[in-house]
């Protein structure tokens, strides 16, 4: 699988047993719905620590991002309380993509509970 943003290889990393796809170059993270549902808050924080440097704006603000699984153009979503956080979701429900820096912000705030309760990955 290639990164939807920078086209580098994605590697599978494990956060306490939950496999997650991470870009070897920009460290963006791709979650499938079943991975995301298994992920617990501690795993999420571990992933955040591991995510590294923030992605440059050129990647963060990319207008057209395609799903690494099905190739559909992904929707840009944002959080009303943290509008600087942009993430991408496949319209077919394949998964969500976070840039490295976004992930750090998400982990810090109460976004986690909201994100989980919203069931954004349910079709
Ligand atoms: Zn990448
Ligand atoms: Zn897709």
Q: Which ligand is nearest to the CA of 96?
A: 2
Nearest to 101 by CA among 41, 43, 61: 61
More reliable by pLDDT, 7 or 120: 7
Is residue 100 one of the residues assigned to a domain?
A: yes
Is residue 3 one of the residues assigned to a domain?
A: no
3-class secondary-structure state, position 105: helix
Is residue 123 one of the residues assigned to a domain?
A: no
* pTM for the whole structure: 0.77
Q: Which residues pair with 9 in a beta bridge?
A: 2
Residue 7 Cα to ligand 1 midpoint, Å, equals 6
Domain count of the fold of the chain: 1
Residues 4-21, mean pLDDT to the nearest whole number: 88
Q: What is the pLDDT of residue 92?
A: 93
Q: Which ligand is nearest to the CA of 71?
A: 2
> 113: domain range?
10-118
Is residue 97 one of the residues assigned to a domain?
A: yes
Is residue 51 one of the residues assigned to a domain?
A: yes
Residue 9 Cα to ligand 1 midpoint, Å, equals 7
Q: Is pLDDT of 20 > 70?
A: yes
Alpha-carbon dihedral sign for residues 93, 4, 86, 109: positive
Is residue 4 one of the residues assigned to a domain?
A: no
Is residue 2 one of the residues assigned to a domain?
A: no
Q: Which of 7-16, 40-49, 83-92, 105-114 has the lowest mean pLDDT?
A: 105-114
Is residue 84 one of the residues assigned to a domain?
A: yes
Q: Which ligand is nearest to the CA of 55?
A: 1
Q: Which ligand is nearest to the CA of 95?
A: 2
């Amino acid at each position: 699988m290639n990164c939807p943003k920078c086209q580098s290889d994605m590697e599978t990393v494990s956060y306490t047993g939950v496999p997650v796809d991470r870009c070897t170059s920009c460290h963006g993270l791709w979650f499938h719905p079943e991975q995301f549902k298994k992920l617990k808050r501690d795993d999420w924080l571990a992933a955040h620590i591991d995510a590294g440097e923030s992605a440059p704006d050129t990647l963060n603000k990319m207008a057209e991002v395609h799903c690494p699984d099905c190739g559909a153009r992904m929707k840009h979503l944002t959080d009303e309380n943290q509008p600087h956080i942009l993430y991408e979701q496949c319209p077919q429900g394949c998964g969500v993509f976070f840039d490295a820096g976004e992930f750090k912000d998400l982990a810090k705030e109460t976004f986690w509970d909201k994100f989980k309760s919203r069931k954004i990955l349910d079709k």
